[in-house]
Amino acid sequence: MSAPSRFLYPLTLPLRIVPSVLHSRALATMLNQVMKEALEEGELDFLIGRRIAIEIDDIGVRYRLGLTDGKIRGYGDDMPADASIAGGLHEFLLLAARREDADTLFFQRRLRMSGDTELGLYLKNFLDAFEPPEKFQPLMRALDKMASIRFPGKSRA
């Protein structure tokens, strides 16, 4: 287990004991708010009837998301994913805070994609182009602060 994993693992116990369907639904609820305009404009229609898995492997947390009836929905681990994106918590924080772009994280193999790569590329391109609405800037600042934390054993910012 890497140094960041040893540091983070005990802190994530509450996430690991709650069924993944619950955190997937919580994440879906948040994403529906943040991406409301993009959803209304059909920018995420490439996800209709498809499932994306997000696996934060250093803390043992997994999400399953899809698009149904114009809304992002969260699913449990029993729902197969068409594409999967995996990596460490810090890498996902860097991506969410827009400190590093997806191309860099994938090229450096800090994030990994498997399954339907076309679907994964659509998602990556959407995330690269997506600009969160102004009202979510406090959330973006919080993500930026979390992404700036230097975990033991992590050399990248």
- Full set of structural domains in the chain with CATH: 3-148 (3.30.1050.10)
Residue 124 CA: distances (Å) to CA of 70, 74, 105, 149: 19, 19, 11, 24
Is the distance from CB of 39 to CB of 72 less than 8 angstroms?
A: yes
- Looking at residue 33, what is its pLDDT? 93
Cα atoms found within 13 Å of the Cα of residue 83, Cβ hemisphere only = 18
Helix axes 89-96, 137-148, angle to 10 degrees: 140
The tokens of 93 are what? 């924080």
pLDDT digits (tens, 9 = 90+) for 57-88: 888 889 999 999 999 999 998 889 999 999 98
Cα atoms found within 13 Å of the Cα of residue 34, Cβ hemisphere only = 17
Q: What integer is the mean pLDDT of 94-102?
A: 86
| Average pLDDT value for the chain | 85
Q: Tell me the pLDDT band of 23, cut-offs 50, 70 and 90.
A: confident
Q: What integer is the mean pLDDT of 120-136?
A: 85
Q: Tell me the pLDDT band of 114, cut-offs 50, 70 and 90.
A: very high
Q: How far apart are CA 131 and CA 114, in angstroms?
A: 25
pLDDT of residue 5 exceeding 70, the answer is no
- Looking at residue 154, what is its pLDDT? 54
